[in-house]
Structure formats: structure tokens, C-alpha cells
Amino acid sequence: MLVRSKEESGVSYQLLRVAWLLFDHDKRTHYYGTDERLFEAEIHLIVAIKDNPGFHVAALAQRFGVTKGAISQIIKKLEKKGMVVKASDPKNQSRLLLSLTTKGETAYEAHARLHRDFDEMVAGLLEQESEEHLVFLKNFLRRVSQEIESHEG
């Protein structure tokens, strides 16, 4: 019989364990329904391009809080992988607009499906809980997030 320490049975330990599992899952590369492995930054850039038509490198850099050079490097990788194409902005010829290829759309949809599956899993785990418990859980997680954010920076 496996004996759990006091820490392992506590709420904070379980919360950290869930956070670590989610972090670990997100950091791994995934194929997202294509023949190309995508890193976390790459799939999040694909999502941003799809969800923000007309975005260009500078807008993406601002959105993610990184340099234009960092975004450009990821865009180059996504172009090589056949996920993203660039086209001149008809309103500003010095700017390139980004859009997804069919392969990029496939990755986007697979990523969205992954999120829907996670949402359904969580909903299934909570479906028997009372409204009072759900309100408590949402408030608790919100407060934990706020506390962590207040200690950053």
C-alpha cells in the first residue's frame, strides 16, 4: 500500500500537481492532425493568426509581448512547415499580412478540439457538483490566480 505524505494529500500539493501536469502537457510538441510537430509557441501563433485576421508581425509581437524578431523567427518556421503564408498588405505595402494554409487550418482545428475535449472532461467531472461548490471553486481558482499574478514582476 502506497502511503501519501501529509503534503501530498493537501490542497496546495494537488493544485501544484495539476498545474505541473498541464504545464508539462503544453510544453510537449504535438502534431495537431498534421505531419509536422508544433511547439507551444508555434500553435499559439497559429491560433492568434486565425483569430485575428489581418494581424501582421508587429501586431503579433505586441499581443505576445515579445520582439518582432522573435515573431519573425517563429513565422519562418511555420512557413517551412507549410502552416502560414505571408501576403503584402494592400493598404501598406511595407507590411506583410499573415494567414493560415490548409495545413495551418488543420492544426488550428485540432488544437481547438483539444481545448473542447478538456472543457468536456472538466464539465463531466463537475456535473454532479452543486452550484454552491462550483461558485466556491471558481472563486478559489480566481483568487489563487490573482495572488500569483500579484507576486509576479
Contact 85, 99 (CB under 8 A): yes
Q: What is the CATH number of the domain that holds 106?
A: 1.10.10.10
In this structure, is residue 131 part of a structural domain? no
Mean pLDDT in order along the chain per 10 residues (153 residues): 63 92 87 96 97 91 96 97 92 88 98 96 97 97 94 77
Interatomic CA distance for residues 4 and 13, integer angstroms: 11
Total domain count, the chain: 1
Output the CA angle 63-43-39, nearest 5 degrees.
Answer: 115
Residue 69 within any structural domain of the chain: yes
Q: Which domain holds residue 103?
A: 24-117
pLDDT reported for residue 92: 86
H helices of 1-153, in order, are: 11-27, 40-51, 57-64, 68-80, 102-126, 131-151
| Whole-number pLDDT of residue 93 | 82
Q: Is the residue at 18 inside a domain?
A: no
Q: Which residues contact 77 (CB under 8 A, 6 or more apart)?
A: 42
Q: Give the pLDDT score at 144.
A: 94
The pLDDT of residue 152: 80
pTM: 0.81
